[in-house]
A and B are shown apart, each in its own frame.
Chain A
Amino acid sequence: EAEVAQSPRYKITEKSQAVAFWCDPISGHATLYWYRQILGQGPELLVQFQDESVVDDSQLPKDRFSAERLKGVDSTLKIQPAELGDSAMYLCASSRDRDQPQHFGDGTRLSIL
């Protein structure tokens, strides 16, 4: 079964540094999501793409976070500068289209020192 690929699996960095996460959705999936999951909580949506266009980024802290999906396939989420409160699991999900089930990758665990 095809999977959503994410890298790196773990990232440890100091506050004020820049970090980047990469996601490769399931082949043919037009919709891509980035979620943030704080330990002990459910995931919360940061940004949604339909092909290369942003559908919703209302919950993305745009002063420090950015996301792109330039060719409508893989995507990168960036944080600059990182803050202590950014420590969390960053999950990528994809779906065949907007009204289809969402499938998650195994995430990137970010720790800010």
Chain B
Amino acid sequence: QQQVKQSPQSLIVQKGGISIINCAYENTAFDYFPWYQQFPGKGPALLIAIRPDVSEKKEGRFTISFNKSAKQFSLHIMDSQPGDSATYFCAALNSGGGADGLTFGKGTHLIIQP
């Protein structure tokens, strides 16, 4: 059972455009939603995270939008740059559960064309 569904699988955006990646979850106990960026041969790097008490969080060019009723959240990358080309993973966690392993989506391969 895939608890976090991520789309699209791949995305091509022109330089300067907005990149949007979506995730949906099933477990209503999830209460922490981070996004990670991964370059080839590297480990995932934490980009930005949100908890369900807010609907939006912005850090620089990266924004998370969160819709608790729809059980969906998305990452927006404004003014996308070629250096943003990477694989992006959404994840979710039930911080009140017995363990703290993140449940990841399958990833989105983002290409920013110059």
- Interface centre among B4, B34, B104, by most chain A C-beta atoms within 10 angstroms, is B104
CB within 8 A of A40: which of B41, B44, B49, B107? B107
Residues from chain B with a CB closer than 8 A to the CB of A104 are 36, 43-45
- Among A14-22, A41-49, A69-77, the stretch that binds chain B is A41-49
Give the residue name and chain of the B residue nearest to A6 (CB). Answer: B43
| Structural contact, B46 and A45, CB atoms closer than 8 A | no
Residue contact A42 to B100, C-beta cutoff 8 Å: no
Question: Are B107 and A41 closer than 8 Å at their CB atoms?
Answer: yes
**Pair A101/B42 contact, Cβ less than 8 Å:** no
User: B13 contacts the other chain (Cβ, under 8 Å)?
Assistant: no
Bound Cα distance A86, B18 (Å): 38
Contacts known (A91-B44, A102-B46, A104-B45); A42 close to B105, Cβ less than 8 A: yes
- Assuming the A-B contacts A103-B46, A106-B42, are A42 and B91 also in contact, with contact meaning beta carbons closer than 8 angstroms in the complex? yes
CB contact under 8 A between A105 and B43, given known A33-B101, A99-B95: yes
Contact check, B100 vs A48: say whether CB atoms are below 8 A apart.
yes
- Is the interface on chain A under 10, 10 to 19, 20 to 34, or 35 or more residues? 20 to 34
Beyond A99-B95, A101-B34, A101-B49, is A43–B42 a contact (Cβ under 8 Å)?
Answer: no
- The answer on a CB contact under 8 Å between A91 and B101 is no
Give B102 Cβ to nearest chain A Cβ, in Å: 6
Chain B contacts of A4 at CB under 8 A?
Answer: 43
Task: Give residues in B with beta carbon < 8 Å to A.
Answer: 4, 6, 34, 36, 41-46, 49, 89, 91, 95, 98-102, 104-107
Please, could you name 20 A-B residue pairs with CB atoms under 8 Å apart, sorted by A? A35-B101, A42-B4, A42-B107, A43-B89, A43-B102, A44-B104, A45-B99, A45-B101, A45-B102, A55-B100, A56-B100, A58-B99, A95-B100, A98-B100, A99-B100, A101-B34, A101-B46, A104-B45, A105-B43, A107-B43
With A56-B99, A98-B95 given, name 13 new contacts (CB 8 A). Answer: A31-B100, A35-B101, A41-B107, A42-B4, A42-B91, A43-B44, A55-B98, A55-B99, A56-B98, A56-B100, A59-B101, A91-B44, A101-B34
